[in-house]
Amino acid sequence: MTPIRRLAFVVNAQKSGATELAAVLADGARAAGVMVRLIGEPPAGEGWLAGQDACCVIGGDGTILGVAGEAARAQVPVIGVNRGGLGFLTTFSDAEARENFSALLAGSFQISPRSLLSCTGSAGPVGLALNEVLIKAEDGLRLVRLEVVADDELVTEYSCDGLIFSTPTGSTAYNLSAGGPLVHPGAEVIALTPVCPHTLSNRSIIFQQGVRLRVRLRSPGARLLVALDGQRGVAVGEQGTVEIAVARDRLLLAQRPDYSHFAIMRAKLKWGGSATGEQKPEAGGQRPEPGQGV
C-alpha cells in the first residue's frame, strides 16, 4: 500500500488507555514526517476526513461504527486499534499497534473492503450501516407484522419482535445473538434474521448483493423504528416503508498483511482447533456448555 502522509486519529477517551496510546502513536507519526490530526468524537456532518490518507480509530468496535459512513464516503482506510471488548473490527491490539506502527505508516497493511447497507425511509435517506439495520415497533413492546418484498417479489410476512438486516461484517453482532448465520466478510450479501418470530419455520434468509429489499408495516396502529448499528434510531410512522440495499461505497478496513479471518473467529468466538488442525483442549479439560461464547 501507499505510505501514509496524512493521518487522522479518532479516539474514544472513555476507553481505558486510549488517550495515552493515541499520544504515543501520534508522536511516532510526527517523528516519521506524517501530518497528524487529532479528533475526539467524530464531528457531525460530512467532509471531516477529506484529504486524509488514513484514519486511526482507537477504542472499540462501536467507535469504528461511528466513523464508518464518513470513511466509506471519503474512501479513507481505517486502522482500528482495540481498547474495548471483543474487537472484531479493531483488529490491532495495543501491543501490535505500538510494535508495527512504523510499518503501517510505510504502507505495510492490506485492505479488506467491507460492504455497508443503505437505508431509506418514506421521508428520505436514513443513513448507512456497517453492521445492521434493525426494524421494530417504536415502543419496543409489541409484536409487529412486517411484509418483506425483494425486487418486487413478495418474500413473506413476519410476525415478530423485529427484523435484522445484516452485512457480512455485522453477522457476528446482533444477527449472531438472534440466531442468524455467520457470513464471510467478502461475500457482500444481506442476511435477514427475524427477532423472536411467531412462526418457528421463519429462519434467516441470505439475499444477493444487488437486491433491493422493501419492508412494509402491516400492524394497524403501530409505528416503526429503524436503528442503524444500534446507534441511531429514526421513527418512520404508521404508514412507513423502509428500503434497504447494499450501498455503493465500501469501508476500507486496514489489516495486518498476515491477517486471518478464521483465526480471529477461532479466538473471539472460542472455537476449537488451531492453524495446524490440532484440537486445543479447553481449560480444565471440559467442553464449553451450549450457548457459551459471545
pLDDT in tens, 191-241: 999 999 998 889 999 999 899 999 999 988 888 899 999 877 777 766 678
Contact 105, 203 (CB under 8 A): no
Residue 293 has pLDDT above 50, yes or no: no
Full DSSP string of 75-136: T--EEEEE-SSS-SS--B-HHHHHHHHHHHHTT--EEEEEEEEEEEETTEEEEEESSEEEEE
How far is residue 84 CA from its own chain's centroid? Answer: 15
Same domain, 120 and 242: yes
Residue 290 has pLDDT above 50, yes or no: no
Same domain, 146 and 216: yes
Q: Is residue 293 part of a domain?
A: no
Same domain, 83 and 31: yes
Same domain, 257 and 244: no
Q: Is residue 294 part of a domain?
A: no
Cell 448483493 identifies what position?
Answer: 209
The reply to whether 61 belongs to the active site is yes
Q: What is the average pLDDT across 255-269? A: 89
User: How much is the pLDDT for 161?
Assistant: 95
Q: Is residue 1 part of a domain?
A: no
User: How much is the pLDDT for 237?
Assistant: 62
Q: Is residue 269 part of a domain?
A: yes
Same domain, 148 and 236: yes
Q: Is residue 97 part of a domain?
A: yes
Same domain, 260 and 156: no
Same domain, 110 and 255: yes
**Cα 100 to Cα 9: distance, rounded to the nearest angstrom:** 16
Out of 53, 61, 161, 229, pick the active-site residue. Answer: 61
**Cα 226 to Cα 88: distance, rounded to the nearest angstrom:** 24
Domain CATH number, residue 43: 3.40.50.10330
Same domain, 154 and 82: no
pLDDT, tens only, 17-58:
999 999 999 999 999 999 999 987 787 778 999 999 999 999
Same domain, 226 and 267: no
Same domain, 106 and 127: no
The Cβ-side half-sphere exposure at 19, using a 13 Å CA radius, reads: 5
Q: Is residue 150 part of a domain?
A: yes
pLDDT, tens only, 114-171:
999 999 987 777 899 999 999 998 887 789 999 999 999 999 999 999 999 999 999 9
Domains identified in the chain, total number = 2
Range of the domain at 267: 6-114+250-285
**Cα 82 to Cα 96: distance, rounded to the nearest angstrom:** 10
Which range of 82-96, 190-204, 236-250 scores highest in mean pLDDT? It is 190-204
Residues 6+ apart with CB under 8 A from 58: 9, 10, 11, 12, 15, 18, 21, 22, 25, 81, 83
Contact 49, 8 (CB under 8 A): yes
Q: What is the average pLDDT across 265-287? A: 60
**Cα 160 to Cα 179: distance, rounded to the nearest angstrom:** 14
Same domain, 21 and 104: yes
CA distances from 55 to 26, 27, 76, 158, 176 (A): 12, 15, 7, 40, 28
Q: Is residue 77 part of a domain?
A: yes
In terms of Cα–Cα distance, which of 223, 240, 232, 251 is closest to 126?
Answer: 232
**pTM flag (> 0.75):** yes
Residue 84 has pLDDT above 60, yes or no: yes
Q: Is residue 292 part of a domain?
A: no
Same domain, 29 and 66: yes
